[in-house]
Structure 1
Amino acid sequence: MNEHKLHDGTLYWPKTMSFFPTYPSLRERAMTQVAIIGGGMTGAICAATLAEAGIPAVLVEEKRVASASTAANTGLIQFSSDIMVSELADRIGEMDAVAFYAHCSKAVNDLGLLAAAIPQDGGYRSRSSLYCAASDADASKLRREYQMLRRHGLDADWGFPAGVGPAFKARYPAALVTHGDAEINPVRLANGLIAQAARCGVRVYEHTGVANVRKRGDWFVLACDGGEILARTVVRATGYLPGIEGAAESEPNLRRTFALATPPNSVPDEWNRDLMMWETARPYFYFRTTPDGRIVAGGLDEDMPDPSTGERALRERTDKLLAELGALFPGSRFEAEYAWCGAFGESPDDLPFIGEHPEMPGLFHALGYGGNGTVYGMLAASMLVAHLRGETHPLAGLLRPTQVRRTASGEPAVKKAFGV
């Protein structure tokens, strides 16, 4: 695979690990039912889910597990997508949009069950999300969103909850609160899930790049550094990285975003730590807290694929994020102990690409583009198990990685290249 940098700056989450499990490189031929390419959060969730289901699997990671996009993840787990369910309904129809949101809500809960089944604390904590309207026009959109969520049984309340300070109400004309969300420590959780999968029989190989994937009869042959893997099914969980060299690509729209973590014990007393916050503005500002009293905040997305940034530019973005926090908590002063820039990808229709390759049966895409990558990773794992059992998942048609995905009216929503 080609070298692609996915983050820059000083990352917080790796500092919360006192010990990193390590895994060997592949130096032999391995045979298995499922080969997972990618050892980030999605690969970790798929590996743990397959292990729980008793399905033999091998996971390969080009570098170290949980060290790429996962390490820069800010760990907000929400069933709401970057596109509102009401806006998604305008594109693909209310039934499909609500089904997608309902399965994302289930995925948040499923992730909690998966996290609870491992010995290591991955930082999974149930939370609610305060969604703030950035303008009067957005307030009307947010009211419509609230009504659709409630109409379809998705847990939400209208208005600012008790305890939210006056600065929020002065800045934002309206808000809703969704329940059933969560926060995680992405590095601890991904490492814990992979370690659990390995204990249950999944073979894990680090520093094992995949040069190419080809079909040989009923088997896929993965040519790897130092060996090869024969598998009946291949899962592409490579996130925003390119696929196999020489093959057609399913390219996300790559952008970069900024984040910071404040020192411990810096959460203002007036903030309810059971809440996470984000806003309707695009790009949006957001924040969450950590168990040791830090604030992890982010935003300022830019249309640049390279997260590499000079110290001065990173400092400027960090100061802007600190100013956003200061405006919401005018009685507090904040500083950043950690600050970083990370790359992320978006699909043109704001939906992930999950499912079997339409022209290569057995090649399964688990590409959770967008701000909800961890939720989509859990959704992909559930859809993968259903696929392996010969079942049709309710979202299989909606999320399939075809070249053209259509709206409810039958018009093309997006054209998309696909590949391994």
Structure 2
Amino acid sequence: MKRHLDLRTGRPVWYAYRTPQVPTETLVRDCEADVVVVGMGISGSMIAEALSAEGQSVIAIDRRGLLRGSTSATTALVQFEIDQPITKLALIAGKEKAERAWIRSRLAVEGLRARIQDIGIECGLAERRSLYLAGNVLRGSSLQSEADARRSAGLDATYLTRSELGSRYGIDRENAIECHGNLALDPRRLTAGLWRACLSRKARAFAPVEAVSFSHSADHVEVGTAAGPVIRAGVCVLATGYELAVGVPGNGHRVISTYAIATKPQPTKLWPTQAFVWEASDPYLYIRTTHDGRVICGGEDEEFEDEARRDALISRKAATIAGKLKALFPALDATPDYTWAGAFGSTGSGLPIIATVPGKPRLFAAMGYGGNGITWSRIAAEQITAAVTGREDRDTDLFGFPPSSRL
């Protein structure tokens, strides 16, 4: 792997809730499987679960261990609404691809909901509306055009004026877009539940195990590990977040620091429907509630420089976020009970990269997830499973490496 980074700092709110235990093994000898998944966070868990459900034998490894990476830092607003507005994405990728990306995102959220319910994972799953507030990227007529573009693509979107936003939610902003069908959940409990489903199908999870080399041939991949044993598989999937593996092109891929707080439980002070709230701004504020009435609020994103700088900013960033939360919802106690920082990978288009590594058709990468990480993880699970099992997925062209990518 490339340079090791601290993926998060502070104590995320999810540690306030019990997470089921998932047993892992110690890797002591060479082994084989149909697929080896590198990374045991939420992305790796979704991919491994989808593959094992199709009868593929799966081995998973992680250099830290289960739930010790960036999964615990996510605020888990599982939205079909892409960070990149559909009107902006159309200018980058064209109207047809922009609409397909948004539609696929919508289908992915529905697919994830169904999968959680089918498996029976207890992760605080709840449907939530969302409010996309006017900001420095879209406001006024531009925000109304965004709502129109979403409806034109066949997606749910209701344009709200200032008076409608105020009367329904008590929020004083110029205008907003209201959508339905997003999901709130506990990401640690979801990840643990997915791994438990994998293990029930005889998948194997080894940790801590660090991948240090990838030997690619016409019919298999060999993953060398720091401890010595080699894992041989027909396909390798790199689900390592923004820590790019050796040989994976990084052009067009940026690392962003983000910050978050969570309040104490205050269920009697929450806004109607507990809708997700986020802004048409760059950077934007994002807000959700937990099942016990806490308010999670994040934002103040900036380009990642190093862990020391990110960590030094936590107190100031948390105070800024708390101030913005209080200004939006004056009745709330915005005092942070939990504060933390994390990082994520992003691309210029706002779309992820889900594709085989150039020149290595048996090595898949899933990266560049931006603010839609859990939704993109579901799409990665669908598309990689389709590729491995020989099925066609009509949207693979949306999520490839940039044309200039080279090894």
TM-score range, shorter chain: over 0.9
Q: TM-score, normalised by structure 2?
A: 0.93
The amino acid that maps onto 1:377 is S
The CA deviation at 1:192 is: 1.1
2: CA distance, partners of 1:73 / 1:267: 25
The amino acid that maps onto 1:283 is P
DSSP-derived class of the 2:139 partner = helix
2:152 is matched with 151
> Equivalent residues in 2 for 1:274-285 (5 A)?
274-285=274-285
Change (3 A) 1:210 1:267: farther
1:304 is matched with 304
CA offsets per residue over residues 339-379 of structure 1, 9 Å max, x none?
01111111122211112223111111222421111111100
1: CA distance, partners of 2:145 / 2:78: 22
| Identity level (%) | 28
Q: TM-score, normalised by structure 1?
A: 0.90
1:34 is matched with 35
CA offsets per residue over residues 226-265 of structure 1, 9 Å max, x none?
4111101111111101203xx3542521121110111122
Structure 1 unaligned residues grouped into runs of 5+? 405-414
1:234 is matched with 236
DSSP-derived class of the 2:291 partner = coil
2:343 is matched with 343
CA contact (8 A) 2:216 2:362 kept: no
2: CA distance, partners of 1:329 / 1:13: 23
The amino acid that maps onto 1:140 is S
Q: Report which stretch shifted further, 70-79 or 126-135.
A: 126-135
The CA deviation at 1:34 is: 0.9
Change (3 A) 1:93 1:187: same
2:318 is matched with 318
Change (3 A) 1:308 1:183: farther
1:412 is matched with none
Task: Name the count of aligned residue pairs.
Answer: 401
1:376 is matched with 376
1:363 is matched with 363
Change (3 A) 1:222 1:10: same
Change (3 A) 1:372 1:137: closer
The CA deviation at 1:321 is: 1.0
CA offsets per residue over residues 161-213 of structure 1, 9 Å max, x none?
586444x22xx211011112111211111111111111112111110111101
Structure 2 unaligned residues grouped into runs of 5+? none
The answer to whether the aligner puts 1:243 opposite 2:245 as a matched pair is yes
CA contact (8 A) 1:235 1:365 kept: yes
CA contact (8 A) 2:20 2:192 kept: no
1: CA distance, partners of 2:350 / 2:311: 32
The amino acid that maps onto 2:237 is V
1: CA distance, partners of 2:364 / 2:129: 32
Change (3 A) 1:207 1:358: same
The CA deviation at 1:24 is: 1.3
1: CA distance, partners of 2:195 / 2:141: 43
The answer to whether the aligner puts 1:331 opposite 2:331 as a matched pair is yes
Change (3 A) 1:248 1:288: closer
Q: Report which stretch shifted further, 23-32 or 289-298.
A: 23-32
CA offsets per residue over residues 264-288 of structure 1, 9 Å max, x none?
225624x024410001111001100
Q: Please give the root-mean-square deviation of Cα atoms over the aligned residues, in Å.
A: 2.0
2: CA distance, partners of 1:235 / 1:312: 34
2: CA distance, partners of 1:348 / 1:255: 12
2:186 is matched with 185
1:48 is matched with 49
2: CA distance, partners of 1:136 / 1:6: 28
> Equivalent residues in 2 for 1:49-128 (5 A)?
49-128=50-129
Q: Report which stretch shifted further, 90-99 or 311-320.
A: 311-320
CA offsets per residue over residues 76-96 of structure 1, 9 Å max, x none?
011111111111112211111
DSSP-derived class of the 2:33 partner = strand
1: CA distance, partners of 2:312 / 2:238: 37
